[in-house]
Chain A
Amino acid sequence: MTEEPTQQTNRDDAWAKPVDKLTVGDARAGAMNLNVDGRGLTGPLQGFGQLWQKTYRIRLDGAEASVQDVVAYWKANLPTLMPDDSRFYPSLTGVKPGEVLLINATLPGMPGGMPVSTGVLILYADDEAFSVMTPDGHPESGFNTFSAYDEDGTTVAQIQSLARANDPVYEFGFRFMGGGAQQERIWRHVLTGLASHYGVTAEVDVKKVCVDNRLQWNRASNVRHNAVIRTTLNAPVRAARRLFGRA
């Protein structure tokens, strides 16, 4: 064991400060800000569906990049690493603990996809990892951790989610409408893009573990916050605003 002061260290600054409700501050231009302001946070215990731990890894063999280099690049370039159908908009402050990252995505399930505007809280960020936590209405309820670590002298980049579908509609979507496959495609895209930056072409290793196969029926009412439904219902309002020239 190392001799360190117990519990209170400057690493504690890596955690977001406690919040009851999310507040979106300086949203980037082009980001649709819906279903985030005023929402509470939901963790792996508060969602509806089966709880899954999904781990996506890519080895950066031959890359001259430390763990810290990779995570710094990841934080700085998070939006450009995402695919076109899942846009991330960090606040102007960047990927920092307590900041809110807006997400504008398109989910499968109907021709052209279903638009969803949501976001996540940057729950934790240090120089080796950053984690996000979902709000009410997000397709998932839980955490996503983006990290890097050293494995036998090679830097490995990893995305690990610990989450369940937030409500019955999302659970159905993940299981039967291609939501789960889309999620896997997105994280493969991010990791291969990250590896590509370092000149590495490699396979993404995926491991999925069902941590809890129970459905939490007492959370079925989470559907009232469903961001896909709310984004869709909001479409006429957005169209009217565009028509009359209001932001």
Chain B
Amino acid sequence: METNLHRSSQFNEELERLRDDVIHMGTLIENQIKMATQAYVHNDVSAALQVLDNDNQVNDLEKAIDDECIHIIVKRQPTASDLRLIMSIGKIVTDLERMGDETKKIAKSVRNLQKPLHPLPADMLGIRHLADLATKQLQGALSTFAHLDTGEARSVILADDALDAEFKATVRQLITYMMEDPRTISAALEMMTMARAFERIGDHTTNIAEQVIYIAEGRDIRHTSID
């Protein structure tokens, strides 16, 4: 449903600011994921520490956006698409914040891998692939939120299957290494943590896409099949 402007220009501005802040928070997470991925690829511990340090900004934004939502509810008593937008943003920021936490796990694993561990027999390309897919998923989710594009939202939800498949493949590979040579367990477990974190990031992007469908269509598709 295409929306017109409110009679209250201040209300328009409040909603605009809220949407901008969500995009800003999403972009911050995207940069965090990219930095954590680079930290892994280049074995760059200072980048990993930077990711851990930046997480405060993510948490602060979560609280600030929640606060904006509460103020709008109190002042404007939003209804219909406005109500759905505000309620969904409350959930979306939680998903974004959790993605921030997952990114922190990745950064910590990069840091832990600095210790002298018995190396894995091969480069884990699956992790890079997972990182790529998770980043694309987040970009898609943010774009779908910015445009309230439900077609794109459905694509994001469906595309998560690829991430899940890649995750399973990576886990299988890691289990094989651990069975072949138990000395690889420590490193493999760090890899497992990273793989799991990227997979979880994908899950959060599908939550955001579901919220976008709720905002735009008023349909709650959580816990149902997209088909």
Do A and B interact? Answer: no
